[in-house]
Amino acid sequence: MIVRQRVNWLRMLFIWRGSVLKKIVVQLVIIMVFSLAIYFFKGRIFDYKVHLNPTIFTLIGLALAIFMGFCNSASYDRYWEGRKLWGLLVVETRSLTRQIFSLVDGPSNEEKQEVIKMISAFSWSLNYQLRGKSGTEHLSRLLSSDQVEKLNNKKFIPSIILSFIAEWFKDQHKKGNIDTIVLVQLDHQLNQFSSISGGCERICNTPLPFAYTILLHRTVYLYCFWLPFGLVDTLDWMMPLIVLLISYTFIALEAIIQEIGEPFGEEENDLALNSICRSIEFSIFEQAEIPQDELKKADSYFID
């Protein structure tokens, strides 16, 4: 995800990184060439003159804009819900870290730091799962060798890491370091982690209905390729430029809808999951007083 301050209006016109233009430049070139050909032949296909009233495109364009607005709202809702879930994960990890150090008596700081690393490992593993990666080679710096071995060939790694944390709580309860009331509260926190993981999986595994996607795609391109026939007699030589501008608006918006509709990917406008995971790790490591060299090591592993 790219987060940058707004620059002056002239520089904004030429920004490339973060724009969907590089995804659609080929389509725009094809439409531009097609529009020039229509202008050159004055809207004729062989000897047949294609007569299309511009009013038709006004009506179709209005309907298309309304439908694209609906799809854009649906995609952004998925994007924003994903961001809220990860924002909640940031809060819950810090809360659980605080509770471990304030409510669990008995274990040494080193033992508590080990479970804090498990919390960080959970966030990284959820990141990997949503992006279709294994990531177990990186988790080796946060988990013990026995735990990493248990993760081999497992599909739902975040859930298994939660079971590691729950097992640690259970052991501390048996030793008398956690009373029943505190154990219930800590278990509630782990349930919050599970809810966040399930919510992210729901977004990831339930894309926008394909029927919407294909209908939008077909309508946009049919509209853009028929538009030159409706404007060639009224705009003359300006027609290719106007068609290019309108096509850029519709095709770019369709590309944005597709991109933000899958918020957990690794494209420039997707959620910055690596940065969020680093933020989680840095904050809970500071709470747990884990040495700074561990933080620097973690930062060097993961670059967005």
Q: What span, in angstroms and rounded, lies between the C-alpha atoms of 106 and 294?
A: 24
Q: Give the pair of three-digit tokens for residue 82.
A: 């994903």
With a CB cutoff of 8 Å and minimum separation 6, the contacts of 88 are 192, 196
Q: Which residue has the higher pLDDT, 85 or 13?
A: 85
Residues 271, 86: contact at Cβ < 8 Å?
A: yes
Pick from 49-58, 74-83, 178-187, 214-223: least confident:
49-58
Q: Give the pair of three-digit tokens for residue 123.
A: 């966030």
Average pLDDT of the residues of the chain: 87
Categorise residue 153: left if φ over 0, alpha if ψ from -120 to 50, beta otherwise: left
* 245-298 pLDDT tens trace: 999 999 999 999 998 999 998 888 889 999 999 999 999 999 888 875 655 554
With a CB cutoff of 8 Å and minimum separation 6, the contacts of 228 are 34, 35, 38, 39, 43, 239, 240, 243
Please check the confidence at residue 299 and state whether its pLDDT lies above 60.
no
3-class DSSP assignment, residue 120 = helix
Q: What span, in angstroms and rounded, lies between the C-alpha atoms of 134 and 140?
A: 12
Q: Is residue 236 exposed (0-12), middle (13-18) or buried (19+ Cβ within 10 Å)?
A: exposed
End-to-end CA distance of the chain: 8
Residue 44 forms beta bridges with which residues? 49
Q: Mean pLDDT over residues 35-63, rounded?
A: 84
């060439």: which residue's tokens? 33
* 181-231 pLDDT tens trace: 999 999 999 999 999 999 999 999 988 888 888 999 999 999 999 999 888
The HSE-up count of residue 140 (CA atoms within 13 Å, CB side) is: 8
* 219-238 pLDDT tens trace: 999 999 999 988 888 888 89
Q: Quote the DSSP letter at residue 269.
A: T
Q: Where are the alpha helices (DSSP H) in 104-143?
A: 109-130, 136-139
235's enclosing H/E stretch is helix 210-235
How many distinct helices (H) and strands (E) make up the chain?
Answer: 12, 2
